Structure 1
Amino acid sequence: MTNSTTMTIRLDQQLKARLGKLAGETRRSRSFLAAEAVEAYVNRELAILEGIERGIADVEAGRTVSHEDAMTSVRRAIEAATDKAAADKTA
C-alpha cells in the first residue's frame, strides 16, 4: 500500500461535476484523478522553477549569448533548413 495522506480542497460545483464525469468514464475515483492532476501540476511547476534557477546560475556565471547573436544563429538555421528543403524538392 502506498504512503498517502488526506487533503481537502475546494472546487466549484461545475468542476466537481466534470471531475465526477471523468471518474465515471475512466472508472477511476475522483480522489485518484485529483491526486494525479496535483502531481502533474507540482512536477511541471517544479521543473519550471528549476529551469529558472539554472538560467539565473548561467547568467551569474556569464554563460549567456546576446539576443543579437542568438537571432543571427536562428536565422542561419532557418536559411539552411529552407535551402535544404528547396534542394530536396529539386532532387
Structure 2
Amino acid sequence: MRKTAVITARVESDIAEGLSRLATQYDRSRAWLVAKAVTKYVEDESAFLASLKEGEDAIDRGDYLTQEEMVAEVERWRQNRKRPV
C-alpha cells in the first residue's frame, strides 16, 4: 500500500458544499475527490513546467526559429496544402 500524507486546506464554503454534493453523487468521500483533484493538478503543472524547461533548453542550444522564420515556415506549409495532389 502506498504511503499517504494528510494535508489541510481552506476553501470557500460554496466550494466545500459543492465538493460535498459531488462526493454524494459519486458515492466517494470528499478526501478521495480532493486527492484526485490534487493529483491531477500536480501532474498537469509538472508536465507544463517540464515543457517550459524543454523549450528553454532548446533556446539555450540555439534550436529555435525566429518569428520571421516561423511565419515563412507556416506560409510554406499553407502553399503546399493548396497544391493539388
TM-score by length of 1: 0.81
2:80, 2:19 → 1: CA distance?
Answer: 48
Q: Which residue of 2 aligns with 1:76?
A: 76
Counterpart check, 1:22 vs 2:22: yes
CA RMSD of aligned residues (A): 1.8
1:34 is aligned to 34
The one-letter code of the counterpart of 2:61 is A
Aligned partner of 2:45 in structure 1 is: 45
Q: Which amino acid aligns with 1:17?
A: E
* Residues paired across the two proteins, number: 85
TM-score, normalised with respect to structure 2:
0.86
* Most deviating of 38-47 and 67-76: 67-76
Contiguous gaps of at least 5 residues in structure 1: none
What CA deviation, in whole Å up to 9, does each residue of 1:30-54 have, x standing for no partner?
1001011111111111111111111
Amino acid at match of 1:47: A
Amino acid at match of 1:54: E
Name the % identity: 27
Q: Structure 2: 5+ residue runs without aligned partners?
A: none
